[in-house]
Amino acid sequence: MIERYKPRRVTVLSRDELKQSEMKVRWPNDEIRFLLGDVRDYDRLRRAFQGVDIVVHAAALKQVPAAEADPFEAVQTNIIGGKNVIEAAIDTGVTRVLALSTDKAVAPANLYGATKLVAEKLFVQGNAYSGDSGTRLSCVRYGNVIGSRGSVIPVFLEQRKTGKITVTDQRMTRFWISLQKGVQFVIESLGRMRGGEIYVPKIPSMQIMELAEVIAPGCEIELVGIRPGEKLHEAMISADESGRTFEYENYFMVRPAYPVWPEEDWIGGTPVPEGFEYSSDANPSTMSGTELADLIEGL
């Protein structure tokens, strides 16, 4: 952001003092400001948002088993925390807020996905609360980020040292996006958002068995069975959303069910067919083993 867009300041607000200290060493830059805080604390958000134009809301508890075990905590961060971000942004005059969502928010099968679905609805309809304040709120929704904490790729990389990796179900498919492309999609969405949209990038899918073969070739594969709250395939757009979904060259846009702004505020795009679904098992774009290997090599 600093090198490409020359902002006056980039503020990092998080509750992880260790990662903040590590980032300070890696990027000793006067334009980066680090603030300790938690999205559960409205007063802290309100103070942190003073003088801020744009907020990217990425805070979440995202481990599926942890959310099932401690559901109240997931609700506090993913739902109440999102509400706090919205209210603090409106109250301090932030211009644009973009919240990061997940494919697990579509027809959720676990509590994590359910909390992200609620968060999406809060940010989409939060525009009705902003009124004439000028604050606009939207979401991006994408799949698994390659190499992110808690994803299957670091697990496979660690397991291959033992000569055996575990796979839940050999039929499983997932959407994949690189960290760099995820960041770029967020930045592009900030530039095009009007308020209330959910932006979905066109990204490739891959079968779990091919993923395993690329990461751990020759290793024994143990099938352990699908876990509670897990799906065989993920979807980023449901059939129920097809009536509000428009296709662009590199992404889809889901318009709000109860738009606050005039329809003409959204320009271009082609309506998708009725009943359209964007799912990992029927995705026309697939990632090759070579492409994945190149991405993993760069981690």
**CATH at 274:** 3.40.50.720
- Burial zone of 205 (CB within 10 Å; 0-12 exposed, 13-18 middle, 19+ buried): buried
Are 114 and 147 in contact by the 8 Å Cβ rule? The answer is no
| Residue 158: how many other CB atoms lie within 10 Å | 10
Q: Could you tell me if residue 74 is inside a domain?
A: yes
Amino acid at 189: S
Q: Could you tell me if residue 48 is inside a domain?
A: yes
Q: Which residues contact 114 (CB under 8 A, 6 or more apart)?
A: 108
Q: Could you tell me if residue 107 is inside a domain?
A: yes
Place of tokens 């559901």: 71
Q: Could you tell me if residue 215 is inside a domain?
A: no
Tokens coding 3: 């090198």
What is the distance between the alpha carbons of residues 286 and 208, in angstroms, rounded to a whole number?
Answer: 12
In the chain, the number of structural domains is: 1
Neighbouring C-alpha atoms within 13 Å toward the C-beta of 118:
16
Q: Could you tell me if residue 297 is inside a domain?
A: no
What is the distance between the alpha carbons of residues 53 and 51, in angstroms, rounded to a whole number?
Answer: 7
Q: For residue 150, what pLDDT is reported? A: 67
Q: Could you tell me if residue 88 is inside a domain?
A: yes
Q: What angle do CA 43, 117, 198 make, to 5 degrees?
A: 90
Which residues are catalytically annotated? 104
pTM of the model: 0.94
Domain coverage including residue 131: 37-143+178-202+236-279
- pLDDT tens for the chain, residues 1 to 299: 888 899 999 999 999 999 999 999 998 888 899 999 999 999 999 999 999 999 999 999 998 989 999 999 999 999 999 999 999 999 999 999 999 999 999 999 999 999 999 999 999 999 999 988 899 999 999 998 987 776 788 888 889 999 999 999 999 999 999 889 999 999 999 999 999 999 999 999 999 999 898 888 999 999 999 888 889 999 999 999 999 999 999 999 999 999 988 887 788 999 999 999 999 999 999 988 888 887 777 66
